[in-house]
Chain A
């Protein structure tokens, strides 16, 4: 138990710290692929996936732990991921993003988190559990592992994937650089690097890949053979708090609490912590978004971390199909939340110029 508390909290705190300082926001990354035609954060995610994938499969080949991806409820993954994508745009952050922004003092993220935890609990052990179980049992494909489907060794997939990511990174880093203006430095040395300097997204991504990798053996040692996960542990907290059943406590619970703590430490030390109250509209969007995230992640069997970062690294259909539909969900919501209002405002302005009142 003590081991679980210490390693879970520590791993989470590291993740929260790195994400806060590196401004690692998958929601923003997916959104910007569409509204800003900018793929930087998506490439960063691919780096984190590649680092983790190589490491975890080496550990599996060395016999440190065993992992089976099981079967694939394909319809549930597609629909759930799409709903999750819509939810994270409304909530202004994915599940992990919401945890770490909560640590920055954003009350909107607290609201989103409440909706997310409540709805995941309702889907897992509450009133919607029968519906969720039925969805999980519908349109189930026998194999989830891509390598298993084709009857090939997993390295046949991982090595070309790593090569592609390496090529993308090389192309990105050799592009003519735009100098991004930075804040006037007020600190020096390690304090400057840790609490002030802008972190390159690719450096942040590599660190996140390493943390996602370390999470596997740490978690497996407590009997939970999986890496980073947010949704189930978030629901577990509420399940434990409302039932008092300590069976709901596992490594993942301490991981998510650690994310919150790590982000708080990073934000506080960087003078970036402040309680910030959203306006009514943002508050409502956060709550609705949080609920959609809970429904979506429960149906899909994972959020942007569980499916988008971990199951992708495990080279599973669930991870990659989930990632694609999650991104499509964020684009759909982005159209209605950001793109259309802007087009309308522009059209309005043009009309005013043509017919002066």
Chain B
């Protein structure tokens, strides 16, 4: 299952908090796609994902100050 979380316009740390909340309700193996535009999220979201043991399957910049990251729940 895949779920998309659109948190554009939110400033740090809210994109991260929203992502953490969203992944809690998901099952192992599900993928959470987070679309965000807070620059600091490019550091905090992948760092959290890696430290929590989830797998980042995709992480790229889409446009000027716009990013997407796909996190597969462990």
A residues in contact (CB < 8 Å) with B? 20, 23, 25, 28, 31-32, 35-36, 92, 101, 104-106, 108, 178-184, 186, 198, 267, 271-274, 276-279, 282, 338, 342, 345
The reply on B2 being an interface residue by CB < 8 A is no
Do B64 and A184 touch (CB < 8 A)?
Answer: no
Cα A106 to Cα B41 in complex, Å, equals 14
Mostly, the A contact residues are loop
- State whether B65 touches A92 (Cβ < 8 A): no
Interface residues of B in 12-50 (CB under 8 A from A): 12-13, 17, 21, 37, 39-40, 42-44, 46-50
A272-B51 CB under 8 A given contacts A92-B11, A108-B11:
no
Distance between Cα atoms of A104 and B64 in the complex (Å): 11
Question: How many angstroms from the CA of A282 to the CA of B42 in the assembled complex?
Answer: 20
Complex-state Cα separation, A106 to B9, whole angstroms: 9
Closest to B55 in A: A181
B11 touches A181 (CB 8 A): no
Please state if A276 and B64 are interface contacts (CB–CB under 8 Å).
no
CA distance A345 to B21 in the complex (A): 10
In Å, the complex CA distance between A105 and B43 comes to 18
Best-buried of A106, A180, A277 by chain B (most CB within 10 Å): A180
- Cβ-defined partner of B59 (8 Å) among A36, A182, A186, A274: A182
What residues of B have a CB within 8 angstroms of the CB of A108 in the complex?
A: 11
Contact B49 A271 (CB under 8 A): no
Structural contact, B65 and A273, CB atoms closer than 8 A: yes
Q: How far is the CA of A183 from the CA of B62 in the complex (A)?
A: 11
What's the least CB distance linking B8 to chain A, in Å? 8
